[in-house]
Chains A and B, each alone.
Chain A
């Protein structure tokens, strides 16, 4: 059992939790993820490690309520216990000195790029961070990212904060004006990663994406997470989750992540009907 040490609501439907998992905190690296279960009857859900505190043995996760499990997780309080919490899974981000780098984050992906930015910076890279959200209240971790980047650009779809528009527009300008950029990390909703990859294709940069396929075990046992990378089948949980975005078969990936849409809706619907509590207010 794994205790929830701290819980914060970042904004409506997005939460941050620090979980007591000292063994994982000891060895985890940026780019890796964990798999958790709320209850014995629950699903195994993968979430990126958004940060960690090795001394206090804590793992930070940031999640968005998109279905039953994340909805239920949002109902958990500080001091509650999770049934299962496994990790660190997947390969770590390949962080070394590249020169100038850009990290692009959207949604919960903003939290995920934070440790990557910090580590890129620590080995001497110039780090430009671009984060995007629909509107002002949805911008998270701005302060933390500012601390670990040389430049931070915030974009909102409605222009209520930072620049108006999408992250890709800001990225395009950067790529056009700064030819020293060698490497781009982009983590966020699938469509954002896909579009970013399409944009960077015509620039001399490598683009790393973090794929959020549907998983079961997370250890290479089932193949649920498989994707085609450069025409070869790879397992996201053991070969990834980070891949060269230019090699990803995005159509196949998008089909596969929505393959249980009907069932997921059904499951969430019945959960909402039963829930009827105001647990998310705390």
Chain B
């Protein structure tokens, strides 16, 4: 067992960095970029935790992980207990440990953040989840006290998976309906392999299935079955079908052949594994110079994917300045290391093409920042006569998503706001239709994995309260 170390030493020690694949190597493969902590590194980092009486870090974790406890078990080298501690509230630790924006969540609230040295909670979580998977250590299987009550979950992204896991633990019979042929939502179709290996997602989804959750793929709710069908069969419903409809810029030339939405580009590469073409059947077209529009996580993923697929130049084109970039700092840093070229304060106005419908360039205009808008960010204003042509031959639109109306159209009595997102009660996550709950991106707009997980957990709690009070959709 490793030792608890002196307080003075804890404060003095520097955070343990995580080893990574070298940029020059990793741009030629789809293997994960950060390599994870070794056992020694994890213990060394865990020893820094002050084990606060009032652990502020936990306030920042929507997955409600008991952070000091699992970290203490790491110091004690009881990795199994550390795993079970995490698993009690977070069914997707290998996922959240990797893609949760920790610096905005738990690590932001960690007391040591005041000195700029928060505990690397996410990395420790990842270490434990990976250890458990590699050593065949499981949580509790199939719940013992099975209830007769049935809950349907629409969409198998992080919101749906978290909700399903919690409800199954409470003994409910849970069925997850997924439109695609694989469960996981953005975790499988959006986030690239080099940030989140798909075998890991599959494994954690499999663990959730082991607790008795039934996953049915190829089910487009609103098409294959309607919400009315589900109401007849289930006692409560959780809608978490994600935001998933791509937004385009609405500029001339956008329907040309080499213009992708980030959703299409990433779905082809990740879900359909076009990076393994022709071993896998789905193709993807890569040209020499790729421009990705936007600067969120999705844009970083697209630009980095284009590079790995063989683009010689990969640009990020963003209408605001570096200070406004919404992507995680770590992702921007990774992108820069890999040689992604940023064009800030630049707005595309027209895509140029040839007679075959292929892209030959993109006309842009330079921007400057004006007064802050409603979002608090300074809004970009075009500079007159600053138009120029960016020489590119493929374009990826990563400017955001909007609500896909398929589910909403079929859900009578469930109200949406003017953007098509479900309206829910802040506290209970119940929609305007009793017994139907909603969460994740289809309520918040594009948000984060961890907020989706948090919504799923909250919904599970209030679905339990709803059903425990004897109510049911079937009785309406």
Contact = CB atoms under 8 A, between A and B. Distances in A.
A223 B357 contact: no
Interface in B393-446: 404-406
Contacts of B277: 263, 267
A134 interface: no
A79 B258 CA distance: 40
Interface string A12-26: 000000000001100
B281 A43 contact: yes
Interface stretch (B107-115, B129-137, B167-175, B215-223): B215-223
Interface stretch (B3-11, B41-49, B266-274): B266-274
A86 B261 contact: no
A205 to B, nearest CB: 27
A222 B181 contact: no
A184 to B, nearest CB: 26
B255 A221 contact: no
A221 B246 contact: yes
Contact of A238 (B258, B261, B406): B406
A267 B276 CA distance: 12
A57 interface: no
B223 A259 contact: no
B246 A222 contact: yes
Interface in B122-162: none
Nearest to A235: B245
Given A86-B181, A220-B245, A256 B224 contact: no
B363 to A, nearest CB: 19
Interface in A231-274: 233, 238, 249, 251-252, 255-256, 259-260, 263-264, 266-267, 270
A233 B283 CA distance: 23
Contact of B255 (A37, A222, A256, A266): A256
A228 B252 CA distance: 11
B358 to A, nearest CB: 8
A7 interface: no
B180 interface: yes
A89 interface: yes
A121 interface: no
Contacts of B371: none
Contact of B220 (A44, A219, A251, A263): A219
A256 B246 contact: no
Given A88-B224, A256-B357, A223 B248 contact: yes
A249 B268 CA distance: 25
Give the size category of A's interface with B. 35 or more
Nearest to A251: B357
Most chain A beta-carbon contacts within 10 A, residue among B218, B246, B279, B357: B218
Contacts of B377: none
B280 A221 contact: no
Given A68-B281, A69-B281, A256-B257, A233 B180 contact: no
Contact of A84 (B181, B260, B280, B406): B181
Give the size category of B's interface with A. 35 or more
Interface string A203-224: 0000000000000110111111
Interface string A162-177: 0000000000000000
B330 interface: no
A270 B224 contact: no
B254 interface: yes
A87 interface: yes
B447 to A, nearest CB: 17
Contact of B263 (A221, A233, A256, A264): A221
B25 interface: no
A89 B223 contact: yes
Contacts of B257: 255-256, 259
B368 interface: no
A68 B267 CA distance: 20
A42 interface: yes
B267 A267 contact: no
Nearest to A88: B223
Nearest to B248: A233
Contact of A264 (B219, B256, B283, B404): B283
Contacts of A44: 181, 272, 282
B254 A233 contact: yes
A60 interface: no
Given A216-B268, A217-B179, A222 B254 contact: no
B288 interface: no
A166 B257 CA distance: 31
Given A37-B181, A223-B261, A252-B255, A216 B281 contact: no
B285 interface: yes
B225 interface: yes
Contacts of A84: 181, 217-218
Interface in B43-96: none
B218 A223 contact: no
B255 A87 contact: no
Contact of B224 (A23, A69, A83, A226): A23
A112 interface: no
Nearest to B277: A263
Given A86-B224, A252-B357, A255-B357, 20 more contacts: A23-B224, A27-B224, A40-B181, A41-B280, A69-B281, A86-B181, A87-B223, A89-B223, A216-B267, A219-B406, A220-B405, A222-B246, A222-B263, A223-B248, A252-B255, A255-B257, A256-B255, A256-B357, A263-B283, A267-B283
Interface of B: 179-181, 217-220, 223-226, 244-246, 248, 250, 254-258, 260-261, 263-264, 267-268, 272-273, 277-283, 285, 356-357, 404-406
CB-CB nearest 3 A-B residue pairs:
A255-B357, A263-B283, A222-B264
18 contacts: A23-B219, A23-B224, A41-B280, A42-B281, A43-B272, A43-B281, A86-B219, A216-B267, A219-B404, A220-B244, A221-B244, A222-B263, A223-B261, A224-B264, A233-B255, A238-B406, A252-B256, A260-B283
